[in-house]
Amino acid sequence: MLLSVRRGPPMAEIRRERSRWTYLAGGLWVFISEAVIVGVAIALALAAAVLVLWIV
C-alpha cells in the first residue's frame, strides 16, 4: 500500500489474451519455470561452494 500502486492491464486486453491460454496449461508452464529456477540455483550454488572451499 505504501508503494506506488501498480495497476494491471485493461480488461479488454486480458479478454483478448484469455483465449490463448488456459489456467492449467499456464500454471504448468509457471511450475516448470520455477523448477528450472531452482535447478539453476543449485548448479550456481555448487559452483560457488567449490570456489569458496577452494579459497577458504
Partner 1 sequence: MLIRPSGEDLRIIGFYLGRIFYVVAAFTGLPLLWALGGREWAPASSFVLTIGAFALIAAAATARPPREKALDWSHGMVVVALTWLVVPAVGSLPLALSGHLANPLDAYFDAMSGLTTTGLSLVQDLDHLAPSLNFWRHLLHFLGGQGIIIAALSLFAGGAGLTLYYGEAREERILPSVTSTARFIWGVSLVHLIFGVAALGAIAHYVLGFSPIRSLFHGLMIFFAGFDTGGFAPQSTSVGYYHSAVFEAGAAVLMVAGAMSFGLHFALWRGPRRADTLRNLETRTIISTFSFCLIVVFIGLATLGLYDGVLGLTRKGLFHVLSAHTGTGFSTVPSSELAAWGGLSFVGIALAMALGGMASSTAGGVKSLRVGLTLKFLKDQIKEVLLPENAVVSQAYHQSGRKRLTPKVSQAVMLVSLLYVAMFLIGGAVGMAYGYPLQDALFESVSAGANVGLSVGITDPGMPALLEVTYLLEMWLGRLEFVAVFSLVGFLLSWMRGR
Footprint of partner 1 on this chain (CB under 8 A)? 1-11, 14, 17, 20-21, 23-24, 26-31, 33-35, 37-38, 41-42, 44-46, 48-50, 52-53, 56
Nearest approach in angstroms of CB 41 to partner 1 is: 7
Residue 37 CA to residue 7 CA, distance in Å, equals: 26
CB of 54 to partner 1, least distance (A): 10
In angstroms, give the least distance from the CB of 17 to partner 1: 6
Cα 13 → chain centroid = 22
From residue 44, alpha-carbon distances to 28, 32, 35, 36, 54 in Å are: 24, 18, 14, 12, 15
